[in-house]
Structure 1
């Protein structure tokens, strides 16, 4: 379909090769998708599509652009809470004079880029999302574990073998563990969600 017919609440940008969109059911506070538009490759499983080294390099370069956009969004949303952004925020707010705006927190380190070992839709897509995994759309263990276990395959990990991908597809039923502190909640997803709300606030303040 033509991405230009959608507004910016859905489509972030598009060109002849890629479309970047906001995920309709975000699994983090900021969750975007990068969709290649290649008719030859866009219906392939990532394992097959990313066997093409040139295509993988192209996707990585484009994902890096989207990662930067997501990082800037995080800084815009949460910089005022972050200890690492205190000096930057003080300059932005006119509280302190400075010749240069302090760089502040490296929000790109808080952004995940990857695919699922078992993708949920046929069109090839790369998730570019904040690390917090905090969203009302995270409703059960499968939702959470698909982004907090080896089921999520970092784009930097490719190429990946079929054997490795098969192993990763088997981890969704693992215990739920906090992505930030590692606490194991077993199968108590509701308890994890309560904990993640606290971790979200602490993460913003880093």
Structure 2
């Protein structure tokens, strides 16, 4: 070996390390501690990465749920408010009601005359209640007076619209054809009212009781004699006449009617009614103000005719005279009413 060649004391590194480790146990131990420290530092960093302080950057699932619930509630409130304030669609308008065909004006009314109360009977007599109607035909309507001033009281209403608003005295005085037709219908109506008077007073009238007793005898005879008819004309002729009720009925018109439609009164003479309340009520049927049908045609100078005179108002205001005994009660209406009641008790027993 050359004297000048350098001497390599550690040509193998591993051997050098081993030698160093062998030579210095502390150095080896220190190196292991350093490695352990590095590992601890790595674990600590990893642990810090998962610590709660870092997790605050991303909310937990429960926090997310609470936030979502709050957001949903706010949205619900917002939607409810929006729904409330939003314009709602207008409902479809209801279908229009069908138009009712209204009846035309009643031609029997004259310019809405408040005195045309009888017009309702003339325009549609078929609709008049049976309690008010007696009968009607093409020319006349016959009704019961709504405010009867006697035991029986009826009205005849001509249906001819061309004459319904004319003044009765001048019309009946100048139209003989109308007067004849009114008389004919008046006689038919009078017969109906006479039968009603007989029915009402059948048990109070002496003449009617006598006739009724005789008729009962005919009925007994019919039992013993087969074929005998007590209702035949021959049998009825055997009976006493009974009371003539037709003579108790007056027929006429008022010189100045209170109702505008033409009408003729048929009224029993007794004036027994609680509807007779004033002097005018009584005198309108028991003075010259009441023009009997038998008086027509009137004299052309009769002052009751509107175009001739104006005396009718004085007739209504004149003295009240009993229709039966002719006693003058002047203006004592209460005394007259009491007297009429007494007269009626006598009259119904005839």
TM-score computed with the length of structure 2 as normaliser = 0.56
User: Do structure 1's residue 11 and structure 2's residue 133 form an aligned pair?
Assistant: yes
Q: Tell me, in whole angstroms, the C-alpha distance in 2 between the residues paired with 1:140 and 1:164.
A: 25
User: Do structure 1's residue 75 and structure 2's residue 213 form an aligned pair?
Assistant: no
Q: Tell me, in whole angstroms, the C-alpha distance in 2 between the residues paired with 1:6 and 1:112.
A: 25
Q: Tell me, in whole angstroms, the C-alpha distance in 2 between the residues paired with 1:58 and 1:199.
A: 35
Task: Give yes or no for contact 1:117–1:169 (8 Å, CA) kept in 2.
Answer: no
Specify which structure has the higher proportion of helix. Answer: 2
Match of 2:151 among 18, 29, 36: 29
- Give the corresponding residue for 2:277: 139
Q: Tell me, in whole angstroms, the C-alpha distance in 1 between the residues paired with 2:151 and 2:182.
A: 23
- Give the corresponding residue for 2:346: 202
Match of 2:292 among 154, 158, 161: 154
SS in 1 for 2:218: coil
- Structure of higher CA gyration radius: 2
Q: Tell me, in whole angstroms, the C-alpha distance in 1 between the residues paired with 2:322 and 2:302.
A: 27
SS in 1 for 2:142: strand
Larger RCO (CA under 8 A, 6+ residues apart): 1
**Distance apart, 1:35 and its partner CA:** 0.5
- Give the corresponding residue for 2:52: none
Q: Tell me, in whole angstroms, the C-alpha distance in 2 between the residues paired with 1:124 and 1:170.
A: 23
SS in 2 for 1:73: helix
User: Do structure 1's residue 163 and structure 2's residue 307 form an aligned pair?
Assistant: no
**Distance apart, 1:204 and its partner CA:** 0.7
TM-score computed with the length of structure 1 as normaliser = 0.93
Q: Which moved more, 1:164-173 or 1:194-203?
A: 164-173
Specify which structure has the higher proportion of strand. Answer: 1
Count of matched residue positions in the alignment of Structure 1 and Structure 2: 204
User: Do structure 1's residue 108 and structure 2's residue 265 form an aligned pair?
Assistant: no
**Distance apart, 1:49 and its partner CA:** 1.8
Q: Tell me, in whole angstroms, the C-alpha distance in 1 between the residues paired with 2:313 and 2:330.
A: 19
User: Do structure 1's residue 191 and structure 2's residue 345 form an aligned pair?
Assistant: no
Match of 1:180 among 301, 304, 324: 324
For structure 1, which runs of at least 5 residues remain unmatched after alignment?
Answer: none
SS in 2 for 1:80: coil
Q: Tell me, in whole angstroms, the C-alpha distance in 2 between the residues paired with 1:108 and 1:198.
A: 22
State the Cα RMSD in Å. 1.5
